Structure 1
Amino acid sequence: MADEIRTGGCLCGAVRYEVRGEPFKSGLCHCADCRKITGSAFLAYADWRADQFSYEGHVETYAGRSFCPRCGSHTFNLNDAGVEIHLGTLDDAPSGIAPQVEGWCKRREPWLPAMPGLPMFPEDP
């Protein structure tokens, strides 16, 4: 059976990416940085190994976070272990990728309930 291929990109379409197979980690992050880059109360993300990821287009990077310089969409974070995809940038929603952990819970908004059954961490998992 072939690995699932998921595609995504920025708002204007200048940056496109592909991930193959399943992520090795997924979660929700409530840290201040993720809140600022999403403009939301948290970031939904998933991590793949570097050999599962490819992209086309020009990205700029700030503090390890890549974004499209044309439309400003934050799409992924490249690091030595691989890539962290911002799940909201996937083409198909819902993606079927459920969070496995919830991080920086000490910053979760009080009106936002915890995800039942997920391991929760006050800071990074």
Structure 2
Amino acid sequence: MKLSGGCSCGQVRYEVDGDPIRVGICHCETCRKESGSAFSFFGIWPKENTTLSGELGCWKSRAGCRRVSHDGSDKIEIKLGTLERSPSALVLAYELWTVRREPWLAHQKRAEQHTRDRGSAEQS
């Protein structure tokens, strides 16, 4: 599967090849502010499967270019709303920070539920 998209400012374009490592949504305060919504919807891909054009130099600790993030590791995070095509073929695997989920938003029944960050001892 090849997907492409770009950030809202137009400075960064990307293409990812293959399935994501994982797909999730996060309800934490930072993700809410970055997305301007009640949660953030993202996918994680291996950096080696990603082609980027443009400068990610503004990215610092989940700020700056908030649509495509790379922290120097071997993975890259992409906000799925930046895809050119609908992300409907991608399967949601987990929800983070469910303690902050809006009460009017139902939990995703097939997704792992994490009260806070993934891998923390607390799961709902």
Band of TM-score, shorter chain: 0.7 to 0.9
Q: Is 1:54 matched up with 2:48?
A: no
1:71 alignment partner in structure 2:
none
State the distance in 1 between where 2:62 and 2:96 align: 18
Identical positions, percent: 36
Structure 2 gaps of 5+ residues are 119-124
Deviations 1:30-89 (A, max 9, x none): 01110010010001111011101121112311314451xxxxxx3212131310110000
- Which has a greater percent of strand? 1
2:61 alignment partner in structure 1:
63
Q: TM-score, normalised by structure 2?
A: 0.85
State the distance in 1 between where 2:84 and 2:64 align: 18
Runs of 4+ in structure 1 over 4 Å off: none
SS at match of 1:61: coil
2:102 alignment partner in structure 1:
109
Q: TM-score, normalised by structure 1?
A: 0.85
The offset of 1:118, in angstroms, is 1.5
Structure 1 gaps of 5+ residues are 68-73
The number of residue pairs the alignment matches comes to: 116
